Structure 1
Amino acid sequence: MTDSPIWHPFTQHGLGEPIPLVTHAEGATLFTRDGRRIVDAISSWWVTTHGHAHPRIGAAIAEQAGRLDQIIFAGWTHEPAEAVARDLIAIMPPELTRVFFSDSGSTSVEVALKMALGYWLHRGEPRHRILVLEHGYHGDTIGAMSIGARGAFNRAYQPLLFDVATIPFPAAGREQATLDALAAALRESPAALVVEPLIVGAGGMLTYPAWVLAEMRRLCADAGVLFIADEVMTGWGRTGTLLACEQAGVVPDILCLSKGLTGGAVPLAVTMAIEPIYQAHHAADRSRMFFHSSSYTANPIACAAAAANLAIWREEPVRERIASLADRQRTRLAALAQTPGVANPRQLGTIAAVDLPGGDGGYLSKRSPRLLAFFRERGLLLRPLGTTVYVMPPYCIGDNDLDAIYAAIAEAAAL
Structure 2
Amino acid sequence: MTLSSRDRALIWHPFTQEQTAELPIVITKGQGSYLYDEHNNAYLDLISSWWVNLHGHANITIANAIHQQALKLEHVIFAGFTHEPAIELCERIKALLPPHLTRFFFSDNGSTAVEVAMKMAYQYWKNKGSSKRNKFISFVGGYHGDTFGAMSVGRRSGFHDQFQELFFESVTIPYPDTWDGDPEVEQKEYESLTQLQQLLEQEHEQIAAFIAEPLVQGASGMRMCRPNYLKQVVNLLQEYNILIIFDEVMTGFGRTGANFAFEIVDCLPDFLCLSKGLSGGFLPLALTITSNHIYEAFLSNDFNTAFAHGHSYTANPLGCAAAKTSLDLLLTAKTQSAIQAINSCHLQSLPDLMRHCKSLRNARVQGTIAAFELNANYAYSMKDLKAQFLTQRLLLRPLGRTIYLLPPYSITVDELNDAYLKIANIITNADLCVLS
TM-score (norm 2): 0.91
Correspondence 1:289 to 2:289? no
Q: 1:206 to 1:129 in 2, by over 3 A?
A: same
Q: Deviations over 1:302-348 (max 9, x none)?
A: 01101111222344432222111100121111111112211111100
| Contact 1:135 1:169 survives alignment (8 Å) | yes
Structure 2: tracts of 5 or more residues without a match: 178-184, 431-436
Q: Matched residue of 2:211: which SS?
A: strand
Residues 401-412 of structure 1 correspond to what in structure 2 (within 5 A)?
401-412=415-426
Output the CA distance in 1 between the equivalents of 2:39 and 2:86: 39
Post-superposition shift, 1:359?
7.4
Post-superposition shift, 1:405?
2.1
| Contact 1:57 1:309 survives alignment (8 Å) | yes
Q: Which amino acid aligns with 1:374?
A: Q
Output the CA distance in 2 between the equivalents of 1:366 and 1:84: 47
Q: Matched residue of 2:5: which SS?
A: coil
Q: Which amino acid aligns with 2:300?
A: A
Output the CA distance in 1 between the equivalents of 2:109 and 2:375: 34
Output the CA distance in 1 between the equivalents of 2:158 and 2:20: 17
For 2:396, the equivalent position in structure 1 comes to 382
For 1:168, the equivalent position in structure 2 comes to 174
**Aligned with 2:343 (options 326, 329, 333):** 326
Correspondence 1:353 to 2:353? no
Output the CA distance in 1 between the equivalents of 2:142 and 2:377: 19
Residues 125-136 of structure 1 correspond to what in structure 2 (within 5 A)?
125-126=130-131, 127-136=133-142
Q: Matched residue of 2:257: which SS?
A: coil
Correspondence 1:342 to 2:383? no
Correspondence 1:36 to 2:67? no
Residues 5-404 of structure 1 correspond to what in structure 2 (within 5 A)?
5-126=10-131, 127-150=133-156, 152-171=158-177, 172-173=185-186, 174-187=188-201, 188-189=203-204, 190-338=207-355, 339-358=357-376, 367-404=381-418
Structure 1: tracts of 5 or more residues without a match: none
Q: Which amino acid aligns with 1:93?
A: P
Q: 1:404 to 1:18 in 2, by over 3 A?
A: farther
| Contact 1:22 1:33 survives alignment (8 Å) | yes
Post-superposition shift, 1:227?
0.6
For 2:181, the equivalent position in structure 1 comes to none
**Aligned with 1:2 (options 2, 5, 9):** 5
| Contact 1:131 1:192 survives alignment (8 Å) | yes
Q: Matched residue of 2:370: which SS?
A: strand
- The answer to which of 287-296 and 178-187 deviates more is 178-187
Output the CA distance in 2 between the equivalents of 1:224 and 1:136: 22
Output the CA distance in 2 between the equivalents of 1:97 and 1:220: 22
| Contact 1:357 1:413 survives alignment (8 Å) | no
Q: Matched residue of 1:281: which SS?
A: coil
Q: Matched residue of 2:105: which SS?
A: strand
Post-superposition shift, 1:178?
1.0
Output the CA distance in 1 between the equivalents of 2:93 and 2:253: 12
Q: Matched residue of 2:43: which SS?
A: strand
Q: Which amino acid aligns with 1:239?
A: T
Q: Matched residue of 1:111: which SS?
A: helix
| Contact 1:186 1:225 survives alignment (8 Å) | no
Output the CA distance in 2 between the equivalents of 1:409 and 1:211: 32
Output the CA distance in 2 between the equivalents of 1:231 and 1:29: 25
Post-superposition shift, 1:150?
3.5
Q: Deviations over 1:175-202 (max 9, x none)?
A: 0111111122223121111011111111
Identical counterparts, % of pairs: 42
Output the CA distance in 1 between the equivalents of 2:258 and 2:170: 30
- The answer to which of 11-20 and 227-236 deviates more is 11-20
Q: Deviations over 1:93-146 (max 9, x none)?
A: 211010101000000000010010011001011210100011100111111111
Q: Matched residue of 1:81: which SS?
A: helix
Q: Matched residue of 1:395: which SS?
A: coil
Q: Which amino acid aligns with 2:344?
A: D
Post-superposition shift, 1:369?
1.4
- The answer to which of 306-315 and 164-173 deviates more is 306-315
Output the CA distance in 2 between the equivalents of 1:46 and 1:156: 25
Q: Deviations over 1:360-399 (max 9, x none)?
A: 9xxxx97221222111111111000011000000011023
| Contact 2:35 2:44 survives alignment (8 Å) | yes
Output the CA distance in 2 between the equivalents of 1:309 and 1:186: 40
Aligned residues: 411
